[in-house]
A and B are shown apart, each in its own frame.
Chain A
Amino acid sequence: MDVGFSSLRSEAVGAVRTAMVSAENLQLTLKAELSQEEQALTHIRSNPKEAHKAGNEDLKEMLESSKESLKLEAMKRIVGLIAKGKNASELFPAVVKNVASKNIELKKLVYVYLVRYAEEQQDLALLSISTFQRALKDPNQFIRASALRVLSSIRVPIIVPIMMLAIKEAAADLSPYVRKTSAHAIQKLFSLDADQKEQLIEVIEKLLKDKSTLVAGSVVMAFEEVCPDRIDLIHKNYRKLCNLLVDVEEWGQVVIISMLTRYARTQFTSPWKEGAMFDENNEKAFYESDSEEKKGHTEEKPYIMDPDHRLLLRNTKPLLQSRNTAVVMSVAQLYWHLAPKHEVSIVTKSLVRLLRSHREVQYIVLQNIATMSIQRKGMFEPFMKSFYVRSTDATHIKTLKLEILTNLANEANISTILREFQTYVKSQDKAFAAATIQAIGRCATNISEVTDTCLNGLVLLLSNRDETVVAESVVVIKKLLQTQPTQHSEIIKHMAKLFDNITVPMARASILWLIGEYCERVPKIAPDVLRKMAKSFTAEEDIVKLQTVNLAAKLYLTNSKQTKLLTQYILNLGKYDQNYDIRDRTRFIRQLIVPSEKSGALNKYARRILLAPKPAPVLESSFKDRDRFQLGTLSHSLNSKATGYQELSDWPAVAPDQSVRNVEIIEASGSDSEEESSESEKTSSDSGKSSSGSEQSSSESELEQKKKKKTKKVPQKKSKPTAADRYSEIPAVCWSLRASFFFPVTTSSFGPVKTYELLHHMTGKGLAAKYHFPRQPCLYQPSMVAVQVILSNSSDHSLEEIHIGDRSPASLSIHCFNTIERLEPEASVTVSMGIDFSDSTQAANFQLCTKEDQFSVSIQPAVGELLMPSSMTEQDFCKEQGKLQGMNETSATITMETANASSQAISKQVLSVANVGVVSSSQNNFSRFAGRTVSSGALVLVSLELKESSTALLTINTEKTVMASMLLRDIKQALTQA
């Protein structure tokens, strides 16, 4: 009966809905106009329509004025109209004229207008297209991007080819921001004209290869919208996407993770093996039974996780710490659907954390936890208290928490949970109290130990003052008694006594059914109840009437002596009831139980039909079958399939070819830069590569190793912002970097390091110091020469506070080493200093101090140490040499030791004397060296022309003539001596 009603009602509701939908499809033009008129009426009393027009006339005038500020004001008012949902379409011609305005805000507002109304005014909208086409070529990436954004947002079919062209061009743009915009435009074009699919897929394929983190999220979104089935496009980009993931902006992360979840389910084999299930035996049911046959195949060989599968799990894990709840949820669902069972629990804490977020977030997260907790109690049990209900929670949150608590209940914690439930039953929110009673019922059926306790508790609730609570208790008790029909006649009697006071139909019906079902256990009470019912039959609700008829029939069969007349009476009443369900039932029952000539066969079975033992109802979670949907999806939340929901496929029995994900190694040199512009991002990806290649844990397998090589060309950023990570290193190394940028070294300068004595241990009272020139760019300042000092303590006591004291000349700039607090006996320490010698060999005098003493020391550099190698080609060398003739040239003919005659030996000797760079020479008899002075950066060119019989012409060209002569002397000495 009630079924009939509800179906009728749902039909009616359906009809109304469809009507509303069709109205909605018609854009409800009627209503919109009406409301406009209403608006006008309220604002202006006299002649609404004209007044309305006048208002727009006014705006039109403002738009056509020459004053920028007036136009802007007008546009602002128009945007205000749009925001309020009022129609401003008649202003289109006036507005569109301003599309090429110089004022950026005005332009933007015009764009807003254009996007809103272009669909309605297609012809006029075309006028603006040329402006955008021009802007697409603008040197400013921002303008290019915004032009593409607006162009693609204008839903005018005629410009599809133009859009296609623009998208293709933008997809190859140098700016990643423009490329990102083009990825968005792909989706817009696709929704405008699905025929362009093939061409768009080509663009998507191209953009998927993009290495910018900016583009990744948007292009995957386009992929999901246009061609989610083309999983083959992902193969080559899979590892890159996994590695980029941490650096993609948060919204992109969500999209990429959900796409990769789908991908992984098609490409990898199931990690859910029996072996991995050991700790969760009780919850195995679902997936196991599904994959019964599959197991047959895989059981033979042990499961080894695909390294790519592992890569995905590893790279998503840090995102559990994201502040964005959507990201955390998407990682959680990824682990749920992809990770081995024992790893899933790492997401628990993060999910529980989300419960402290906004109410709406709680709602979604609780829904997902409810589904998860059915299969895996263990995951959330330690956090049970986080699901305790507060009186201030919204009703839907309360019910979800209750659901989860019920799912989590087991033998160990049931007493705690029941105690908690007792508080809830008393809640002022009666709907919630009723839900709690149902939950108690579920706990009672699931955990046999507490069934009796629960039943007693529920019986106590029967005396509750609130009707809904009592009714719900009756219904639940009925279900519970059915599961254990033995020895409960007391409760049934108690309920029969309560019967008079209970008015809720469902509860009354339940009691009647119970008495009927177990009438043999309460032989005295049952006929009495029937008697009462016969009295009040006409006034009862339908559902109660039906159960009364049932009770009468059952009593007629078991105790016909006492109840025959009563039954006849009730059946007669039912025969003329207004409700056809009841009339039907009465007729049916009469035929069944009252013997007559016609009925015959059925009559014999009446007892077996009516008093058959009935299976107990199963009380189970409403989230039981939600796991057919992917967690975290809209479909899961609604528990019905949403438009565009992508089914998560089952694991393949045999893994598809793994090698499809391999990427060819591209030569590291410059090929990266084919598309990349000079924006920071390129350098970041380059150096990301060098820094993190080694981070990969090499423990996995050979494949892992292989992959490591392959992925090297992709930036692997694990730590949060990699660019930022490098940033912190800069202060330490920047000077050295800068120095080596100024003086790029082609040949490494080598040679034996000469060590000089700075302080003898006798004069230094035990402190000895030696120094040498490491010939490295100085870290502290490019104009300084780096000096390394080795301090050693040869005394028998430790020396303290070794530092540099006064210096002379006073202007001498020295970068001192940090004070050495303590130097133990026999210990030594190397420190670096920087000294600016100002390109002279004048000694740097300073004091080396300890806590007690001061020692004057001096460092006198050899002239060759004041130089830095300089790289140049032979041509450059000759050109520079040509400029440094005359006064700037010093030369001498020398006779060399025969051992030094080869050019290699010459290089060695020269480099040992001076810190210069070798210039590669095409002529055998010429050796050339180039350097710059450290302090002023003046060029020093050394050339050596070999003549016959080991004589050679040594020439030095430099502005620093003093240095030249000194250098000449040193080199000459080195070459002539053995």
Chain B
Amino acid sequence: MIHSLFLINHSGDIFLEKHWKSVISRSVCDYFFEVKEKAVDPENVPPVLQTPHHYLISIYRGKLFFLSVVQTEVPPLFVIEFLHRVADTFQDYFGECSEGVIKDNLVTVYELLEEMLDNGFPLATESNVLKEMIRPPNILRSVVNTLTGGSNVGDTLPTGQLSNVPWRRAGVKYTNNEAYFDVVEEIDAILDKSGTTVFAEIQGVVEACVRLTGMPDLTLSFMNPRLLDDMSFHPCVRFKRWESERVLSFIPPDGNFTLMTYHVSSQNLVAIPVYVKQNINFFETGSCGRLDITIGPKQNMGKTVEGLMVTIHMPKVVLSANLTATQGNYTYDLTTKVLVWDIGKLNPQKLPNLRGSLSMQAGAPKPEENPSLNIDLKIQQLAISGLKVSRLDMYGEKYKPFKGVKYLTKAGKFQVRT
């Protein structure tokens, strides 16, 4: 299936290669570079490319290209999903997935890649299993290892590989047993010029951080599971019980994982937490424009809106911006033409406003379209859909775990057209 993997950085250097079958020369990447040159923006590189003898399937994450080479028919999503899983694993192991970190941990990375695929077919992709085979780096262990000559590689087969619960490692022990769940909801919305909602929906995800001794069996139930329209589960969730009782019953993996993602049924009206009054004008003459943006609270369920940020991709002809913000700071990047206004907390008494003039290239025609605004925001302790966790029960172990649930609402792809 997957023949080789090349990791390529932003500037087009191949800094890691791994082959699971015979070696393929890195010159195969030239086809990719050709397309990349044309695409201008790395995001515009098509994920699937054809070359005379190979097929190149790539993902772009954290300013890195993960480029895999396949020789025969294979579902492209299979490869894409796997590549993302590799990136997730790096993230999990090293805290971030960047060129520097991968170069620093080259040997661990190589060992991981070796375990994750056999002959191009995924072998062990569960983080819990991998961590038993190759321990994640930490300072204490590396000190101990240099002194004792110990290694980062486990010598037994992780039990997860054999059991029916492959996602959980065996013999987990904690002094503090705790289970935390984060319900994070994102509002995806498109608002038109007049502020009416063109499209809005809520995506949610339940992230879990479970540190429990032994083999706990958890049941998480919601007050209002009917809200959930469509969901996907971590393999640990028993689908049958969800179907019949609408509770999440599972033996959790150890550590952090995504328990479920969901979509709130479209019948429910989506509450839009802020309104935006905007006025962007480009003048026919004088090569300048005006910008005036005000943001105010709308339906925010009595909570404060934090982390408010407005991003505008300006037309190419806009040379500079001379603005004043009543709250927060703004920056205008001259090369990427991105205007960022970082507002912070929204104060309902004194609405933040950004106004001023834009100067354009002399002689250039006035831009056809006004740039749209991308809004970023956060509301703590609120799930905008109204979803509530009602209880968490644990079976199978005797101790009393510490339990916690946190809610958070964020703006997803929240766009205001102008």
Contacts and interface: CB of A to CB of B under 8 A. Distances in A.
Contacts of B232: 321-323, 328, 350, 353
B46 A325 contact: no
Interface in B193-213: 198-199, 201, 203
Interface in B63-82: 70-78, 80-82
B236 interface: yes
A385 to B, nearest CB: 4
Contacts of B11: none
Given A83-B109, A426-B368, A642-B72, A349 B22 contact: no
Interface string A12-39: 0000011011011001100110000000
A69 B261 CA distance: 46
Contacts of A352: 230
Interface stretch (A485-493, A501-509, A713-721, A757-765): A713-721
A18 B46 contact: no
B235 A720 contact: yes
Interface in A699-717: none
A730 B50 contact: no
Contact of A31 (B27, B165, B231, B249): B27
A112 B17 contact: no
Contact of A323 (B82, B235, B368): B235
* Residue from B28, B46, B157 with most neighbouring chain A CB atoms (10 Å): B157
A193 to B, nearest CB: 14
Interface string B396-418: 10000000000000000101010
B238 A720 contact: yes
Contact of B76 (A68, A221, A364): A364
Contacts of A582: none
A977 interface: no
A70 to B, nearest CB: 10
Interface string B20-42: 01110111101000000000010
Interface string A126-149: 000000000000001110010001
B374 interface: yes
Interface string B248-285: 01110000001001010000000000000000000000
A69 B146 contact: yes
Contacts, number: 305
Contacts of A5: none
Given A250-B235, A349-B230, A360-B59, A108 B122 contact: no
Given A184-B119, A187-B119, A634 B55 contact: yes
A165 B262 CA distance: 50
A350 B249 CA distance: 21
B80 A724 contact: no
Interface stretch (B148-156, B324-332, B352-360): B148-156
A936 interface: no
B18 A83 contact: yes
B50 A640 contact: yes
Contacts of B48: 363-364, 634, 637-638
Contacts of B111: 108-109, 112
B392 interface: no
B25 A391 contact: no
Interface stretch (A235-243, A618-626, A679-687, A944-952): A679-687
B304 interface: no
B333 interface: no
A728 B236 CA distance: 13
Given A632-B77, A634-B55, A724 B164 contact: yes
A188 interface: yes
A817 B369 CA distance: 76
Given A329-B75, A361-B80, A643-B71, A140 B156 contact: yes
Contacts of A727: 215, 217, 251, 396
Contacts of B77: 325-326, 329-330, 361, 364-365, 632
B381 interface: no
B151 A104 contact: yes
Contact of A721 (B59, B119, B165): B165
Interface stretch (A72-80, A264-272, A738-746, A780-788): A72-80
Contact of B230 (A103, A353, A358): A353
A541 interface: no
A84 interface: yes
A24 B361 CA distance: 47
Given A250-B235, A720-B238, A359 B60 contact: yes
Contact of A350 (B41, B230, B396): B230
B225 interface: no
Contacts of A330: 75, 77
A723 B60 contact: no
B14 interface: yes
Given A85-B17, A394-B41, A642 B415 contact: no
B231 A391 contact: no
Contact of B46 (A247, A396, A680): A396
Contact of A356 (B114, B123, B203): B203
A465 B119 contact: no
B249 A728 contact: yes
A28 B27 contact: yes
A325 B58 CA distance: 16
B180 interface: no
A913 B149 CA distance: 69
Given A177-B161, A326-B78, A634-B73, A388 B198 contact: yes
Contacts of A637: 48, 76
Nearest to B147: A69
Contacts of B119: 152-153, 184-185, 187-188
Contacts of B118: 149, 181, 184
B43 A730 contact: no
Interface in A55-87: 68-69, 72, 76, 79-80, 82-85
Interface string B215-247: 101000000000001111111111111000000
A69 B149 contact: yes
Given A326-B78, A349-B230, A428-B315, A680 B73 contact: no
B53 interface: yes
Contacts of A361: 77, 80-81, 84
B411 to A, nearest CB: 13
Contacts of B250: 724
A155 interface: yes
B287 interface: no
A829 to B, nearest CB: 26
Contact of B368 (A116, A214, A325, A466): A466
Given A321-B231, A719-B240, A725-B238, A119 B22 contact: yes
Contact of B237 (A185, A328, A681, A720): A720
A727 B164 CA distance: 11
B16 A105 contact: no
B52 A21 contact: yes
Contacts of A181: 118
A655 B10 CA distance: 55
Contacts of B27: 20, 23-24, 28, 31
23 contacts: A21-B52, A28-B25, A119-B22, A177-B161, A184-B121, A188-B21, A249-B166, A254-B75, A254-B78, A323-B232, A323-B233, A323-B235, A323-B258, A330-B77, A364-B77, A364-B80, A365-B77, A632-B76, A634-B55, A638-B50, A724-B236, A727-B396, A731-B395
10 smallest beta-carbon distances between A and B, as pairs: A719-B240, A723-B164, A105-B151, A644-B72, A142-B157, A426-B369, A360-B47, A105-B153, A251-B122, A326-B77
Given A72-B149, A392-B313, A725-B240, 5 more contacts: A108-B111, A214-B162, A321-B231, A394-B41, A426-B368
